[in-house]
C-alpha cells in the first residue's frame, strides 16, 4: 500500500505490522506524532497491543525493559532530553541483552536547546550496548523498523537497537512510502521467542543483579562480541528484506561513484540526499568524487570503511554533532577505521541545531577535499561548515 506520510507515521505503521505487544512511550517533539499514531491504531482496534501510560522517559524505558524481559516484543520511542533521561536504563537494556527496538527522532539537547535535528542526543549513548542505525528517507525508516526486530532478535546479537531519523526533516515532511502488508511482514519476521533473560514464574531466575568482580569483564566481552557479529547480521537481514520486499538499503554502508574516486565524503542521515545531487553534478564536470552513506554507527563498519576508501586520496566525514575540543563523534570513528591510511581525513561539522546543509555547502566541502587529494595534506583536520566567522579550508 503506497501512501504519502511522514517518518512518524511510517514508524508507527511498521511497529503495528511487527506485531509489537507492549509499548511505553512519553511524547516529546518531534517524536510525539509517532506515539499518537500508535495510540490511534490501538484505539481503532487494528493493533492488538498494551500501551502503558507513563509519566516520563525514565519510566517508559523501564516499562519496556520489564515487558521484553517477560518475553514480549516491545517498542519505545523518544528524542533529545527524553533520551538523555533514559540514559541510566539504556545500560540495563544492553546488559540484559534485551532486543528492544526504539525509534529516536533526533533533536538537539540543550543548552542552548532547540527542537530541530542534531545527533548530540543519540551519539553520546554509543557505549550503552545499543545498536544505532541512521536513515535517509521515510521509506528507509519504515523498512528499518521491520529489519531492526530481525537484527536485534537474532541469537548472535540479542541487543537493543535505535533507529535514528532526522527530526522535522523526516518526521514532519511527507514522502511516498510503500507500507508493508501484514502477510508480507509475517513471512519476513517470525514471532518473537525469548530464549534468554526470560522471567518465567515457573522457573525463577535472578536477572540484572550485582555482578561479582570475577564475572563482570566476561559480560562486557560478550556484548562486545555480539556487537561485532551484528555486522554480518545487518548485511544478512538487509539481503533477506530485499528479497522479500524488493528494496535494498545496502546493509552497513551504501556507496556512489566510489570506483575511481579521488575524494570521498562519508555522510549520515538526510544530508546524504543533498550530497547525492552534488556528487552527480560534479561527476558531470569531470570531478572524481564519491559518496559513502554510513548507515550503522554501532556497530561502526570499520572494515567496510577501510575497504571502500582504500584507493581514495582524501576522505571527508560529516558530523551533525560535536565532541568539544576534539571534533565530531563520526569523525573519531572514521579516523579510527582509517588509522593505517596515510590520506588526509577531514571532519566537517555542520547542520547543528537543525541548520540547513545546502548544496553550496557540500560543493565547498568537495572543493576542500579535492585540494587535499591534490596536495596530500589537510589545512585543518576539523572544519566548521557555514559557521559565522569561520571560513572553510
pLDDT at 201: 84
pLDDT at 111: 86
pLDDT at 168: 97
Q: Residue 393: is its pLDDT beyond 80?
A: no
Segment 11-18 mean pLDDT? 98
pLDDT at 208: 80
The overall longest dimension of the chain from CA atoms, in Å, is 70
Angstrom distance (rounded) from CA 266 to CA 264:
7
Q: Is the peptide bond before 330 cis (omega within 30 degrees of 0)?
A: no
pLDDT at 125: 98
| Cβ neighbours of 185 (radius 10 Å) | 18
User: What's the pLDDT tens digit per position in 174-195?
Assistant: 999 999 999 999 999 999 999 7
> What percentage of the chain exceeds 90 in pLDDT?
93
Q: Residue 319: is its pLDDT beyond 90?
A: yes
Angstrom distance (rounded) from CA 115 to CA 29:
7
User: What's the pLDDT tens digit per position in 43-96?
Assistant: 999 999 999 999 999 999 999 999 999 999 999 999 999 999 999 999 999 999
Query: Beta strands of the chain (E only): which ranges?
Result: 2-5, 22-24, 50-52, 74-78, 101-106, 131-134, 161-166, 175-178, 253-256, 263-267, 289-294, 296-298, 314-319, 345-349, 382-384
Segment 347-370 mean pLDDT? 98
Segment 221-242 mean pLDDT? 98
Q: Which residue is it, cell 502488508?
A: 181
pLDDT at 202: 87
Q: How confident is the model at residue 7 (pLDDT cuts 50, 70, 90)?
A: very high
Angstrom distance (rounded) from CA 92 to CA 178:
35
User: What's the pLDDT tens digit per position in 253-285?
Assistant: 999 999 999 999 999 999 999 999 999 999 999
| Cβ neighbours of 215 (radius 10 Å) | 9
Angstrom distance (rounded) from CA 177 to CA 193:
30
Amino acid at each position: 500500500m503506497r501512501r504519502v506520510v511522514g517518518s512518524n507515521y511510517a514508524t508507527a505503521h511498521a511497529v503495528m505490522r511487527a506485531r509489537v505487544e507492549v509499548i511505553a512511550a512519553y511524547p516529546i517533539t518531534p517524536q510525539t506524532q509517532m506515539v499518537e499514531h500508535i495510540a490511534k491504531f490501538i484505539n481503532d482496534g487494528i493493533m492488538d497491543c498494551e500501551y502503558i501510560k507513563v509519566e516520563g522517559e525514565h519510566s517508559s524505558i523501564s516499562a519496556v525493559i520489564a515487558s521484553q524481559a517477560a518475553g514480549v516484543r516491545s517498542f519505545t520511542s523518544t528524542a533529545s532530553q527524553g533520551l538523555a533521561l533514559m540514559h541510566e536504563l539504556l545500560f540495563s537494556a544492553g546488559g540484559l541483552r534485551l532486543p528492544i527496538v526504539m525509534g529516536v527522532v533526533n533533536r538537539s539537547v540543550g543548552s542552548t536547546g532547540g527542537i530541530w535535528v542534531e545527533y548530540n542526543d543519540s551519539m553520546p549513548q554509543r557505549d550503552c550496548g545499543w545498536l544505532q542505525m541512521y536513515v535517509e528517507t521515510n521509506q528507509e525508516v519504515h523498512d528499518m523498523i521491520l529489519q531492526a526486530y530481525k537484527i536485534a532478535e537474532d541469537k548472535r546479537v540479542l541487543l537493543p537497537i535505535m533507529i535514528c531519523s532526522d527530526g522535522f526533516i523526516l518526521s514532519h515532511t511527507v514522502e511516498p512510502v510503500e507500507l508493508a502488508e501484514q502477510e508480507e511482514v509475517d513471512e519476513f519476521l517470525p514471532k518473537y521467542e525469548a530464549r534468554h533473560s526470560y522471567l518465567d514464574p515457573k522457573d525463577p531466575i535472578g536477572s540484572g543483579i550485582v555482578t561479582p568482580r570475577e564475572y563482570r569483564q566476561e559480560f562486557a566481552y560478550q556484548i562486545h562480541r555480539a556487537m561485532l557479529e551484528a555486522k554480518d547480521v545487518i548485511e544478512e537481514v538487509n539481503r533477506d528484506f530485499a528479497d522479500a520486499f524488493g528494496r535494498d538499503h545496502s546493509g552497513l554502508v551504501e556507496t556512489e561513484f566510489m570506483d575511481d574516486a579521488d575524494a570521498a565524503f562519508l555522510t549520515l542521515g538526510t544530508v546524504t540526499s543533498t550530497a547525492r545531487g552534488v556528487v552527480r553534478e560534479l561527476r558531470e564536470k569531470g570531478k572524481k568524487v564519491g559518496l559513502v552513506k554510513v548507515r550503522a554507527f554501532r556497530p561502526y563498519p570499520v572494515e567496510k570503511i577501510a575497504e571502500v576508501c582504500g584507493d581514495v586520496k582524501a576522505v571527508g566525514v560529516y558530523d551533525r554533532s560535536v565532541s568539544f575540543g576534539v571534533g565530531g563523534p563520526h569523525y573519531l570513528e572514521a579516523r579510527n577505521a582509517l588509522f593505517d591510511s596515510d590520506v588526509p581525513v577531514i571532519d566537517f561539522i555542520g547542520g547543528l541545531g537543525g541548520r540547513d546543509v545546502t548544496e553550496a555547502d557540500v560543493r565547498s566541502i568537495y572543493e576542500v577535499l579535492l585540494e587535499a587529494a591534490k596536495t596530500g595534506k589537510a589545512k585543518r583536520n576539523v572544519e566548521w561548515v557555514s559557521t559565522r566567522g569561520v571560513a572553510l579550508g
